[in-house]
Each structure stands twice: as C-alpha cells, then as structure tokens.
Structure 1
C-alpha cells in the first residue's frame, strides 16, 4: 500500500482558536507540509483545485511547481484537477510543463469539481458539467499522446492539426478519476482503464463501496484485466496516538471546532458525535492497532491500494500533528505496506511502463452519449 498526504488549501479561521493566517502564510504552510511529507517517507503529496471560498487552491500547477523545486522523490498529485472548468489545451500546457519541472513525478486526479460559485465563475451549468468533464478529459489525453491533434469539441474552438508545446516528459501520464457520488466519473475511469480515487470523506462507507463495485463491474465490461484495476481512498480525518484514549482526548477539540463550523454554515452533521465520527466515518483516529484494523475494514470493501491523509494540523498543534505523522510512518505504514498490496504497477517508474492494454482514443463526446441513462 502507498500513502499520500493532501491539502485542499482551505483558508479559514482555525477551528479551535478562531485565528486566521495571512494568505502568504497559508501558502507557506502548504509548502512546509509537502516538504515534511517527503522527509517522513510518504509516497505522494496532493494539492486540490477550487475556485471559491474558503479555498485558495485555484492554481495547483503553480503550487506544485514550487514544491517540485523543494523536493526530489515524492510524487505530486492534483486532488482534483477540475477539468469541467478548464480549457483542456491550456490545462495540458500547464501540466506538461510541471511534468518536466518535477522530473516526471506528476500524477493527476481529475474530476468535475463541485460548488455553485465556481460553476458560475466559469459559466458552467449543472446540466453540462459532466459533458464538459468528459470532453475535456478525452481531448487532454489525446493532446498528451499525440504530436498533432484535430478535433471538433462542443465547448472550445476546433483544433486542426494543432501542435501544443511543450511535449510531456512522461508518456503517458497516469490519470486517476476522483469519485464521490456519481456513476459518471466511475464509468469514465473504467472505460479508459484508469485508476479510481474515492473521495470517501463525507458519509459512511456503503455508498462509496457501491460506487467502487460499479467501477469494477464497468472495468470488466470494457474488457480490461480485473487484476489491473486500482483504487485509492481518502480519510475524513487523522490523528494517531499511543493509546486510543489519548487519541480521542487530543482530537476532541478538533472535532468540536469542525462541528461548530458546520452548524454555523447551516449544515446538518452526518456524524453528530466524536464517537460516531471515529466509528462510522473514514477518519483514522486512535492507536496504531486501531488504525491498522480500520484500514483493513475499508480495504475489505474497497480493495484499495493507495490511502490519503490530511497534510495539515486542522486545529492540532504543529508538534502534535508531526508526532502523529511520525507515529503513522513508524508503527502503522510498515504493517499496511506489508499486508496490503501496492497498485498493479511499479510505483517509482512512469506510467509508460504500466502493464496492460492502452485503451484506444474515442471520438470527442462519444463518452457522453454512452453514459448510462443518456
């Protein structure tokens, strides 16, 4: 099993102290978290993309390029790249450049994104966002693989023998599909033989498990080898301590702060108590043995081989957060690495060496018409 830490670059008051850092300081914290992840031996670091409050992650390529200059080994992920909002040609140029600057350490997790404010900012509607996501993805991957591209998409100008530079370092790049609630993203991943990353951070396990089961069904339907399907999964929170009692005691103020924030925003908490949150959500809060057992329970449902943790304290002190990550690497990660398989490819090598059949490119929007129910 492999492990990432990720940041969505939330810029909001601390859930416990109520204090809010400057924008400049917030970016510094994210960069420090990435450097720490490499120092502690994590396999990847991810940065989200959002275009609305309370996030300041609108330029993940810029942030990841800076991180690439300060690290040498760790893989760099997007979590997620919102292709439904982007011109795929411009997105390709940015990510191909980042691929070179990082020495081929880039992996994308793509998704349609969520939030009405960012849809309005880019004039994307709920009715066309899935079509835009599918079209942008198909065109993005064609540009990545071909020196010249001709296409007549719906949502951007036509391309006629277009050359887009620079050509990438990795051929091809690995692209994961982020999935939270919709079968559209799952079917898109399965159709192209791409790995799936479950954003299983809001609800209990069952709806996410059902989507992953559907992914594996569609994977086989499209003729891919079942042994090559790969799944990643998130976690709703993380804090490890030597004993479960200490972990719950230390994490209680963090949970209380987040619960208060949800209520201030008029939301209804899915997990109303800390005990319920620890038991039924994907949060990993407890002793090393408890966390190992919980990851195994999720693995029984998901069959996942990559796991992400929160990169930043989110209300914990910096020292407590670092001690928790160190405990994960010393007492938890070695057991999970030994007991749960890696993804079905060589992690350190580029996607070009990945086993299995490379899916052929489809005409633009064939994906959309093939979606279930369309």
Structure 2
C-alpha cells in the first residue's frame, strides 16, 4: 500500500475575479512548493488534474507543472489524475509527456479519461459528440507512437501522417497508463483494456456498488492476464482530534461536494439527495480525517475491506484551507500517517508503478 498526494490546481472560489499577475505568480510557486514538500514528507507520488477555462484554475492542464516537478523532485512518481484524452491532438500530448518522462528519468504515469465537463471541450472548440470514439482513437495513437517508428493513422477523429514521437519515452514501451472511468460499468471494464490499474474519484462510496464496480474491473483485468490494481482518491486532514480536523477542513470539503453534486456526479447516493444533505458530519465517513491513528485506521480499512492498493490524498480545495495550511498539513500527514504506513507495507511491484518508483 502506498500513498500519493494530489496538488489541486484550483485556488479561490468558483467564478472568482480574474487573478492578478502577482497572485498568479505566487500561487503557481506555492503549488510547485506543495510537490517539493510532499516528496520530502515521504509521499510516494504527486498527481495533478486537467482543468481549463476557469478563473480559479492557475495551471491550465497538467503538462506545465509536471515538467517543472520533473526537475524539482528526485524520487516520487509524477502523474496526471487525470489527463483528458479528448481535448488536444494525442501526438501533441505524447510529445509533452515524453519530455516529462525523460526529464524525470522514468517517473511518469498518466491517468486517462474521456472527460465530463462541457466547458473544457468548448474552450478548445472540440465537438462534443462521439467522445468515446475520440478517446479510443487517441489511445491507439499513443500505442503506435510508443513503438518508436514513423506511422500513419487515418481515423474518424484523429489523423497522423508520418508521425514520430521523438524523443521516445524514458520508460521502454511507454509510461504506465492508469484507467479513468469510475461511474459507468462499461467505462470501468474498459479501463482494464487500456490501463494497468483502475482509479476511483473521492466521492461517497456505497459498499454494494463498490463491490460491483471492482468486480467488473477485476474480471476484465484477469481475462486479459493483468494483475488488478485499485487506486482510490480521498480528501482528508490530520489533526490532534477528529473535531479539530473537521473544523479546519470539513466546510471546504462540503463546498466541493456540493459543486460536484450540482454536476450530477453522485446524486444516486441515498444519503445525498439534496445539497442540504451534504454536511461535515454526513461527509466525514467518506474522508480520511481525524487524529493520526484514526487516519491510519481509515486507510487500512479501505485497504482491507475495499481492496484498495494505492491512495491519492488531497488536503486543499479551491476554497481552502490556505496554501500555508496545506503545506503544514502535507508535512504533518507525511510524517505521522504516510511514513508509518509505508514502513509497514511492502514496496509495490506492479506495472502501474514506474519501475524507478517501486519503493
């Protein structure tokens, strides 16, 4: 079992005023610093999302900050959670990620998804029909690009003429691909086809639904001769007591949950049928929050009862806590939760983890 940290590329309230140049600079520096602190604190990986066209987004897309982190870190795995594989030409994306993989000396992985936010496609003038076909063609192009020779691809949505990915990835055959979809059974099953693992977002879980989802993924992975690997994202906060953690973090988590509730992401959950149902108390069971021992027990429960192999933790939402508080939290959570767990459990030996990061 290993634990990574997600750097949220949002800061500030949704639809906030346009950041000033100084605010943009300072916030970008602070986000980079989060990654540096997380490596020092013992986190196994750094992950960043793919976001665009919003005033609260300071790094549009994951490629730029990952390029910087490839130089600023030495040991952690670095990757996307996720890369929306329908927004730009897959060869352009492959070129940027190949640079990151080489700069980091083989520490890159990418979680891929087709995306769900219409505003992102609108930002780039991408047609919003046939997204699955666009996504599947993009994966095929990456597979051809990783072979290291020129190729042509005449698809319905993407075309490549005498394409060549140069430089080639540092990792022979390409960096690990993590599967994205986690709501629709077909998407979960499909993640085993193109990915080395299956990832799940930080939304409320129902055990019976989870078992169905995991079963769908595991069955398909085993059909393909792959060893299943489960990645779960959670939000959380460590403090002296659960009450202290909830007071510092709970309201921010609730605001984030309400935003995604309005997008229809988890309206199926019986405990959350309206925005008023989303309170710090109701949301608490779906976070990693409390004293160090409580956080360790919660992570181990997900590992033992839900079969989770890898965790991605996030401590900062767009509305807060502050960047300063987040850095302090990264350090404390790393020392008091992450490091004890990493000492207890063996290093991962799975193709979803870059070979350079199997520690």
- The whole-number CA distance in structure 2 between the counterparts of 1:77 and 1:106 is 5
Matching residue of 2:270 = none
Measured after TM superposition, the shift of residue 78 of structure 1 is 1.1
TM-score, length-scaled by structure 2: 0.83
The 3 A distance-change label for structure 1 pair 89 and 69 is: same
2:214 corresponds to which of 212, 215, 229: 212
The 3 A distance-change label for structure 1 pair 297 and 32 is: same
Matching residue of 1:333 = 338
Structure 1 residues not aligned, in runs of 5+: 354-374
Matching residue of 1:197 = 199
- The whole-number CA distance in structure 2 between the counterparts of 1:9 and 1:285 is 22
CA contact (8 A) 2:46 2:77 kept: yes
CA contact (8 A) 1:12 1:20 kept: no
Matching residue of 1:12 = 12
The 3 A distance-change label for structure 1 pair 343 and 184 is: farther
- The whole-number CA distance in structure 1 between the counterparts of 2:345 and 2:275 is 32
Residue pairs, 1:63-74, within 5 angstroms: 63-74=65-76
- The whole-number CA distance in structure 2 between the counterparts of 1:265 and 1:213 is 26
Matching residue of 1:52 = 53
Q: Once the two structures are superposed, what CA deviation does each residue of 1:136-193 show, in whole Å capped at 9, x if it has no partner?
A: 0121122013323232211122434x32322221112111112331234322321245
Matching residue of 1:167 = 168
CA contact (8 A) 1:109 1:177 kept: yes
The 3 A distance-change label for structure 1 pair 158 and 272 is: closer
For these two proteins, the number of residue pairs brought into alignment is: 343
Residue pairs, 1:1-374, within 5 angstroms: 1-13=1-13, 22-53=23-54, 54-160=56-162, 162-171=163-172, 172-192=174-194, 194-199=196-201, 201-206=202-207, 207-222=209-224, 224-225=225-226, 228-235=227-234, 237-255=235-253, 258=256, 268-269=274-275, 272-279=278-285, 281=286, 283-310=287-314, 312=316, 315-318=320-323, 320-337=325-342, 342-345=347-350, 349-350=355-356
Matching residue of 2:271 = none
- The whole-number CA distance in structure 1 between the counterparts of 2:223 and 2:295 is 35
Structure 2 residues not aligned, in runs of 5+: 268-273
CA contact (8 A) 1:190 1:215 kept: yes
Measured after TM superposition, the shift of residue 125 of structure 1 is 4.5
CA contact (8 A) 1:13 1:19 kept: no
Return 123-132 or 60-69, whichever deviates more.
123-132
TM-score, length-scaled by structure 1: 0.80
SS at match of 2:159: coil
- The whole-number CA distance in structure 2 between the counterparts of 1:326 and 1:350 is 23
The 3 A distance-change label for structure 1 pair 329 and 261 is: same
Please, what is the CA RMSD of the aligned residues? Answer: 3.3
The 3 A distance-change label for structure 1 pair 203 and 252 is: closer
Measured after TM superposition, the shift of residue 64 of structure 1 is 1.2
Measured after TM superposition, the shift of residue 318 of structure 1 is 4.9
The 3 A distance-change label for structure 1 pair 188 and 262 is: closer
